[in-house]
Structure 1
Amino acid sequence: MTAAPQARAVGRLAAAPDTVLWGRLPCADDRPVVTIDAGDSLWIDTVSHEGILEDQGRDPVAFFACHGIAAADVLADAVRVAAEVEHDPDVDGPHVVTGPVRVRGARVGDILSVTVLDLEMRAGYGIVSNRHGRGALPAEFPRGGSLDPVSILCTVDPAGSSGPAGAPGASEPRRGSMPAGPGDHRRVRFPLRPFLGTMGVAVAGHERAHSVPPGPHGGNIDISLLGVGSTLHIPVQVDGALAYVGDPHYAQGDGEVALTAFEAPLRAHLRFDVIPREAFVVPRTLWAETSELLVPIGLDADLGEAMRAATRAAVNLLADAGMDPSYAYAYLSAAGDFAVSQVVDRVCGVHGTIRKADLVELLQI
């Protein structure tokens, strides 16, 4: 619901031992690794945690060699993060985040709007994992009650590849693929939808947040709609916002049932805008939008409560656009859609989708 100002690109933030956190998210005490003005854009490199974790050997060259990936195709920054960045899997989350980025002028109570201008895939492969009895079916997978992670290599199909008969041709979006089973040469192919699973701002106080559960700060929200052209709106908790991104995906189905999806590194071009707190009569919660959709977000450890929170957020968005709340509630029942973002991150996520085209008379678009 915000206009898109012209972005001023100010450079690239590499993923390096001194520019990332592993398993924790920034707090008020963290020093920014870069400072930009509101309205600026920045290229940010991200590293996937899959392939560098302790239960995978914390050696991405050796891990991916077992999956047929040459050492030259393993990202140097992933190797450095695995070797040099502090991480305790017993108390930290798995995710690597790049940042924090200080945005001049962002105040507590403002909204930081992070718009995804572009996403570039940094590798031709990635991993989907299920581990340690987690995921949507924790008593059933990994099969046999194994404590060893199940890590399945996914690959990016070559551009223009048609695959077997009936598979997509060059005119269709890029696709990824994975084997149908161990030692099976048949491939299952699916569309690529790159997005950043983690985008957020620093939490107030002196303690870094765990990287797994999302919250009012954003974090690991895992909403696959937030690809190129989308904007995530996050309430600022500390002056300067101290933004960060990570958990890159090449594809994910709603629910992310196995625990992770097609996890693989991205280079993201992001614009950081600030909406002043005075612009809203009522303080705002986390929400997102694309060119076609408003995306209210609900988060809670209980999936039913997450659904109710998403519904309240949707009513508030429509009321802000000019609808009577009772009529907004009725509209959502008639025309709004709600999906489970993920059920694997301790705090479940539900996101709604509201077509902007339905609201053209309200939004004056």
Structure 2
Amino acid sequence: MLKYKALSFVICTALSGAAQAENFPILKQITAQPGLLSEGAYQGHYYVPSTLDTIRWGYLPNKDAKPVLTVPSGSTVTFDTVSHEGLLEDQGRDAEKYFKSKGVKSQYILDEAKLISRSDLQHDFHKDGPHIVTGPVAIQGAEPGDVLKVEVIQIQPRVPYGVISNRHGKGTLVGEYPKHPAQADASPAHPERYGNVSVFTPIEKNAQGEYEGIIQTGSGKSIRFPLAPFMGLMGVAANTSEPVHSVPPSFYGGNIDINELGAGSTAYYPVHVPGALFYTGDSHFVQGDGEVALTALEGSARATLKLTLLKAGKDKIPGQSVQQPLAENAQFWITPGLDEDLDEAMKKSTREAIRFLNKEYGIEEELAYAYLSAATDFEVSQVVDKTKGIHAMIRKADFKEFQPQSKK
């Protein structure tokens, strides 16, 4: 009887939250075909929707991937991405049915999410990555040895809700959470048998006009927390014909899950194949460092990005070269370290930070190491994506004397 009461409460709070979530409209697909937009709010942008022709489920583009669009360097591209949360097998692989069970009306569920989840697109819940990856986009003139500069202009939630999930065998506390065991006969027809936990989380604007996530608790009180949207997955194609799993990030980027990469940030990726073949997905409305349960607050988002090619030997490249992802925002340079071992990820981030300071500012390596120890925070980006991530936050203001003096 107690179990029944608890379950009923969860359902009621989900319905209540969904009603709150419907106070503002969703961002529907602009057009079904990739291309240059000639009118509307995004006039002059290139546009990529998430359709069965422009996505792949669980894998990243490799060197053999065909671009869905080719753009010149310096182009602004708007991607309408679709989150995998609410579409996966342990949620029933039926986006409309899943979100309706949380009280969301059909018109507040993306048509693309309904189409993808009901399609015959093959996806193995246990083998394949969960992510719905949009792209790739080729950049004219990109060649191996070049660097792709990706400026994040804007990340907008497309729907007024997201999902936070914890799954068996994944997350920080494997074997402790989820508490309910998985059953051998779990299937999309019986998603509850997976034993996984997905927390439906509406978002709404507060009195200041800022988005907040809302988790309603068993006491009837709500946890409210600010959003900071970013794309968990951005990158370029690896130079391989082998399938590239979407979960572990690597030297080409991918599922790097660094929460600093919101609007106003810039990421740099080394180009490995002609055209670079850029892709994105796995949009996060907000993520804590570590992403400990497995996912952040994840939901479908519209990402507007500027893609600029930095040619080897011609254009200035931060740190003189980029052999793995590098990032910056107005305040910090960000050097990731990636490894299955968190200690090794820390070492790699530190080595890259030293190399960067040496090459960018001419600082002796021993002094760079000392500076990092005294004045730089190393943050855990995530520990749940097979390859773990740590990134250094190198404060730009500390290097004012190294900047070229402007002429009066």
- Normalised by the size of structure 2, how large is the TM-score? 0.82
The structure having more radius of gyration, on CA atoms, is 2
For 1:70-109, list aligned pairs within 5 A: 70-84=105-119, 85-109=121-145
Shift of the 283–354 alpha-carbon distance from structure 1 to 2, 3 Å rule, reads: closer
SS in 1 for 2:397: helix
Task: Look up the match of 2:335.
Answer: 296
Aligned-residue offset at 1:271:
0.5
SS in structure 2 at match of 1:320: helix
Instruction: Find the residue that maps to 1:328 and give its secondary structure.
Output: helix
Partner of 1:154: 201
Residue in 1 that maps onto 2:241: 206
Contact 1:23 1:87 in 2 (8 A): yes
**Alignment partner of 1:133 is 2:176:** no
Matches within 5 A, 1:317-332: 317-322=356-361, 323-332=363-372
SS in 2 for 1:81: helix
Cα distance in 2 for residues equivalent to 1:299 and 1:9: 36
Cα drift, residue 8 of structure 1: 9.7
**3-state DSSP class of the match of 2:394?**
strand
Counterpart residue type for residue 46 of structure 2: G
Q: Which aligned segments of 4 or more residues in structure 1 are displaced greater than 6 angstroms?
A: none
Kept in 1, the 8 Å contact 2:147–2:322? The answer is: no
Counterpart position of 2:212: 175
Shift of 1:276: 2.0
CA drift of 1:137 comes to 0.3
- Which residue of structure 2 lines up, in the alignment, with residue 343 of structure 1? 383
Q: Percent identity?
A: 44
Alignment correspondent of 1:59: 94
Q: How far off its partner does 1:284 sit?
A: 3.0
Structure 1 residue 317 displacement after superposition: 1.3
User: Which stretch of the first structure deviates more once superposed, 213-222 or 71-80?
Assistant: 71-80
Between the aligned partners of 1:120 and 1:273, the Cα distance in structure 2 is 21
Letter in 2 for 1:342: Q
Q: Deviations over 1:120-166 (max 9, x none)?
A: 11000010000113100001100144442101011112x3x3xxxxx
- Which residue of structure 2 lines up, in the alignment, with residue 309 of structure 1? 348
Q: 1:123 is matched with which residue? A: 159
Instruction: Report the alpha carbon displacement of residue 311 of structure 1 after superposing the two structures with TM.
Output: 0.5
Kept in 2, the 8 Å contact 1:28–1:238? The answer is: yes
**How far apart, in 2, do the equivalents of 1:282 and 1:236 lie?**
11
**How many residues matched?**
347
Deviation sequence 1:8-57 (CA, Å, 0-9, x none): 94321111110011100001111000000111111101100000001111
Residues 1:241 and 2:279 aligned together: no
Partners of 1:180 and 1:221 in 2: CA distance: 30
SS at match of 2:66: coil
Asked whether 1:271 is paired with 2:306, we answer yes
For the Cα contact (< 8 Å) 1:321–1:363, is it kept in 2?
no
Deviation at 1:65, TM superposition (A): 1.4
- The alpha-carbon distance between structure 1 residues 231 and 339, as it changes in their structure 2 partners (threshold 3 A), is same
1:114 aligns with 2:156: no
CA distance in 1, matches of 2:78, 2:180: 43
Q: Select between 207-216 and 147-156 the one with higher mean Cα deviation.
A: 147-156
Q: State how far apart, in whole Å, the 2-side matches of 1:353 and 1:73 are.
A: 38
Aligned residue for 2:76, secondary structure, equals strand
After superposition, the C-alpha distances for 1:72-127 in whole angstroms (9 at most, x for unaligned) are: 11100111111223322232100001100000111112111111111111000010
More displaced stretch, 78-87 vs 31-40: 78-87
CA distance in 2, matches of 1:282, 1:190: 38
Counterpart residue identity of residue 133, structure 1: G
Aligned counterparts of 1:81 and 1:363: Cα–Cα separation in 2:
49
Report what 2:22 is aligned to: none
TM superposition shift of 1:282: 5.2
* Cα displacement string for residues 246-289 of structure 1 (whole angstroms, at most 9, x for unaligned residues): 00010100000000010001101101111222256555322100
Paired residue for 1:363?
A: 403
Aligned to 2:392: 352
Shifted more, 316-325 versus 18-27: the winner is 316-325
Spell out the pairing of 1:186-265 with structure 2 (5 A cutoff): 186-265=221-300
- Aligned equivalents of 1:255, 1:274: Cα separation in 2: 31
Rounded to whole Å, the distance in 2 between the matches of 1:283 and 1:127 is: 34
> Which residue, out of 98, 104, 112, partners 1:69?
104
Contact 1:300 1:348 in 2 (8 A): yes
Instruction: Summarize the Cα distance change of 1:363–1:286 in structure 2 as closer, same or farther, 3 Å threshold.
Output: farther
Looking at structure 1, the residues matched to 53 and 243 of structure 2 have their Cα atoms a distance apart, in angstroms, of: 16
Give distance in 2, aligned partners of 1:364 and 1:142.
54
Compared with structure 1, are the counterparts of its residues 9 and 297 closer, same or farther at alpha carbon in structure 2 (3 Å cutoff)?
farther
| One-letter identity of the residue aligned with 2:384 | V
One-letter amino acid of the counterpart of residue 10, structure 1: H
Partner Cα separation in structure 2 for residue 61 and residue 232 of structure 1: 34
